[in-house]
């Protein structure tokens, strides 16, 4: 899990540097080349800088071990960072839309031809960055890194809109100056959609929504395969940053001594953590085995 955190932090740091350079390039090109779409794109990239810093901080704080004030660790910092990044995307979308609408209503010059090449270069760079960061987000299971990746994708999409708008304006000539501004308005909608797309998973993590069933199934199999486990009555999983917390009720022979039951409990913990390295903690409640009467409400898995 630490390795995954470090990978996420490294890509967040790379995002800060790359976005800072792109902001300067797009802003200068937009002002000199009279392109509202590129200026809007620069605004979106400036938000990317702050989002990468927030992801960096969220991953760093989330990796801290439990302490007296945070006995369950600091894992919530990671989805909280993702939620902040998503809200920043929505804010950037609103800002771009306001700028675009204002420019649509104001006559201005056609964009310069060189702005087309700037937009094309940005599209390539940001799409490559999105693919790299998105892959890391999937591999380490980080909602914050995934949100940061979509921030890069939204920047690429806004640059695509800028490219199309500038192309239409240059091709159409006089009377088509607003095509660049309409492209910026379209870009704001794309950014808003991506903001909502990344906000929902972050909120789910903050609300302790259970991860996909594969995590639960692997934990159930690991627990049921431990010698002495007669039945796994209930098992609950919740996410905590890049890791998981698992609570389960295990049934064993009622005749076992307290010491023997405790040993089985420890073996269940070891088995689950071996099967799922991202598990932070396992809480096992031991119960005497009894034949299940009603298995409709709780998942039951009988061990051998």
User: Domains in the chain, ordered, with CATH?
Assistant: 2-206 (1.20.1510.10), 213-288 (3.30.70.1350)
- What pLDDT was estimated at residue 240? 73
Question: What is the rounded distance in angstroms from the CA atom of residue 114 to the CA atom of residue 35?
Answer: 10
The three-state secondary structure class of 251 is strand
pLDDT tens across 212-248, in order?
Answer: 788 889 999 999 999 999 999 889 998 776 678 899 9
- Give me the helix-helix angle, 179-206 and 143-172, nearest 10°: 170
DSSP state of 299: -
pTM of the model: 0.61
Question: What is the rounded distance in angstroms from the CA atom of residue 25 to the CA atom of residue 130?
Answer: 19
- What pLDDT was estimated at residue 2? 45
Question: What is the rounded distance in angstroms from the CA atom of residue 52 to the CA atom of residue 47?
Answer: 9
Give, in order, the Cα–Cα distances in Å from 297 to each of 219, 248, 292: 18, 15, 11
Closest to 228 measured CA to CA, from 186, 268, 279: 268
DSSP letters spanning 282-297:
EEEEEEE----S--SS
Which residues in the chain show pLDDT less than 50?
1-2, 294-304
Are the CB atoms for 24 and 46 separated by under 8 Å?
Answer: no
């Amino acid at each position: 899990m630490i390795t995954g955190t470090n990978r996420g932090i490294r890509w967040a740091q790379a995002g800060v540097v790359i976005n800072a350079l792109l902001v300067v390039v797009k802003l200068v090109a937009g002002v000199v080349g009279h392109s509202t779409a590129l200026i809007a794109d620069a605004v979106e990239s400036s938000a990317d800088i702050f989002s990468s810093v927030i992801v960096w901080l969220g991953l760093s704080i989330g990796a801290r071990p439990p302490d007296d004030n945070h006995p369950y660790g600091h894992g919530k910092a990671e989805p909280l960072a993702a939620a902040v990044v998503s809200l920043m995307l929505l804010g950037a979308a609103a800002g771009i839309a306001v700028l675009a609408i204002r420019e649509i209503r104001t006559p201005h010059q056609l964009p310069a031809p060189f702005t087309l090449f700037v937009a094309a270069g940005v599209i390539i760079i940001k799409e490559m960055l999105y693919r790299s960061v998105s892959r890391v987000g999937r591999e380490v299971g980080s909602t914050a890194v995934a949100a940061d990746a979509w921030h890069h994708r939204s920047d690429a999409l806004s640059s695509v809109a800028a490219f199309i708008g500038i192309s239409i304006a240059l091709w159409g000539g006089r009377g088509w100056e607003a095509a660049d501004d309409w492209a910026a308005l379209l870009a704001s909608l794309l950014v808003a959609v991506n903001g909502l797309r990344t906000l929902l998973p972050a909120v789910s993590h903050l609300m302790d929504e259970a991860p996909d069933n594969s995590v639960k199934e692997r934990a159930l199999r690991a627990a049921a395969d431990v010698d002495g486990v007669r039945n796994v009555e209930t098992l609950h999983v919740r996410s905590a940053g890049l890791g998981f917390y698992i609570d389960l009720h295990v049934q064993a022979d009622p005749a076992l001594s307290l010491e023997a039951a405790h040993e089985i409990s420890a073996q269940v913990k070891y088995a689950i953590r071996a099967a799922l390295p991202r598990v932070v903690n396992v809480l096992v409640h031991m119960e005497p085995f009894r034949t299940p009467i009603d298995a409709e409400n709780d998942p039951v898995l009988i061990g051998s």
